[in-house]
Amino acid sequence: MLTRIDVLNAIRNNMLLVMEEEFDADAFDPALSMHDLGANSLEMVEIVSRTMRELNVKVPRVRLNRVTNIDELADEFMRVVSVPEQS
């Protein structure tokens, strides 16, 4: 079962991959937005896309547009993971 820590680690790791030296991993704070941590809009799209692929989740764009920080993004990913699959 995927945990919130797993989700936050995936987001953080993808920020490291996409932003490289622009991102200070020690400054990672889920209460902040990716923009606050130095990501531009293209990097944010890439980070979210990579993380969704890694976690094998899909969150509708409408819900992603409401996200204001990394905590809320993790919440959206966890909502999708928590929903049982329909057969």
Tens-digit pLDDT profile for residues 26-83: 999 999 999 999 999 999 999 999 999 999 999 999 999 999 999 999 999 999 887 6
- What pLDDT sits at residue 81? 83
Residue 32 near residue 70 (C-beta atoms within 8 A): yes
* Fold of the domain built from segment(s) 4-82: 1.10.1200
Structure tokens at 26: 């020690």
Nearest-CA neighbor of 8 among 51, 57, 60, 61?
51
**pLDDT at residue 87 tops 90:** no
Question: What is this structure's pTM?
Answer: 0.90
**pLDDT at residue 84 tops 60:** no
